[in-house]
Amino acid sequence: MMSIYHHFKQLTALSCAAAALSFSTFASADTWRYAHEEYEGDVQDVYAHKFKQYIEENSEHTLQVYRFGELGESDDIMEQTQAGILQFVNQSPGFTGALIPEAQIFFIPYLMPTDMETVVEFFRQSKAVNDSFPKLYEAQGLELLKMYPEGEMVMTVDEPITSPEDLKGKKIRVMTNPLLSSTYEAFGATPTPLPWGEVYGALQTNMIQGQENPIFWIESGGLYEVSPNLVFTNHGWFTTASMANKAFFDKLSADEQQMIRDASEYAFNETVKHIRGLAEKSLAKIQNTSDNVTVTRLTDAQIAKFKERAPQVEATFYEMTGDSGKQLLDQFKQDLKVVTK
């Protein structure tokens, strides 16, 4: 029954998307379509509109941007991109990990630094990100345009926590990502995969007792209203990626392909400007809005208790990805050494 329902859901999502987009398809052959996972004004929306601005200023094409929920959830917009209904999609490795197991590397805790300038420099210079990942995405019919950071991951819980023992028995929502589940198992919690659209209600009804996201998304999505205890564990950054349907991209002229790459570089640089100071502003908004919010910043000693569990997750990553994952993680660590010197 579940497989029939899932198949029906896929067909419905694709049919609805095709119907919703049919007007622009026939109205203009030069209208391209781009869908992302966030709300108006959020980081992916900023990136998408800077990408749109560059394309429209440097070509005859127009770009239609669709935000979260307008064409479905993250899995829906990926299916629509692979089917050629959308030309561009923005999806985080948190969801792409089911399609490209190696993309889960960003969910190995305490692998990435949390200093913003170091993180940004890593994405600019990393051979793993800029050379290895495009080949992995290409195998799934996708042209990887840009991977970029959105913000440090922050946990929200039903009560302040300072140790893995405090998470015992708590159901923590994770994206549909096996390695992220492994991370929260290592941290002592019970990982509970849920699509984004169900998270607020699940927190409100105590179906789950916590989740993790960048602070701007916790503010934008109102998660602090139903999960008011913010915990800074310093375990990683939220990463996302913009990509194109490979068949569409390959049919473009060399000049148009370069223009799209230039648009992604422009959008990356503009998005980096946007996220500077964003976490601090978002936290201030949350604290000004709610008196129930608590903020716990773990000490080095408390972080060490979480950090000592990270090797379990790294071992799981190797099991999931084999030799290709090992090579990627080795390159990842080399790249991090270069930018952290």
CA distance 74 to 65: 15
Strands (E) located in 96-254: 142-157, 171-174, 190-193, 210-214, 229-232, 237-245
Give this prediction's pTM. Answer: 0.87
Kindly list the domain boundaries of the chain, sorted by start residue. 2-340
Determine phi and psi for 207, rounding to 5 degrees: -65, -35
Pick the CATH number of 2-340 from 3.40.190.170, 2.60.120.480, 2.60.40.3950, 3.90.380.10: 3.40.190.170
Closest to 61 measured CA to CA, from 32, 98, 101:
32
CA 247 vs CA 51, 140, 233: distances in Å: 20, 11, 41
Secondary element (H or E) of residue 50: helix 43-58
Which pair of tokens denotes residue 163?
A: 């140790």
Amino acid (1-letter code) at residue 270: E
Per-residue confidence (pLDDT) for residue 328, from 0 to 100? 96
Convert the pLDDT of each residue in 28-59 to its tens digit. 348 999 999 999 999 999 999 999 999 999 99
Say if residues 63 and 56 touch (Cβ distance below 8 Å).
yes
Residues contacting 72, CB < 8 A, separation 6+: 13, 16, 17, 80
Convert the pLDDT of each residue in 94-105 to its tens digit. 788 778 999 999
Does 92 score more than 50 pLDDT? yes
Convert the pLDDT of each residue in 287-302 to its tens digit. 999 999 999 999 999 9
Closest to 35 measured CA to CA, from 83, 88, 93:
88
Closest to 218 measured CA to CA, from 232, 235, 234:
232
Mean pLDDT (the chain, rounded): 91
How sure is the predictor about 10, in pLDDT bands with cuts at 50, 70 and 90? very low
Closest to 219 measured CA to CA, from 140, 305, 279:
279
Residue pointed to by tokens 């660590």: 333
How sure is the predictor about 93, in pLDDT bands with cuts at 50, 70 and 90? confident
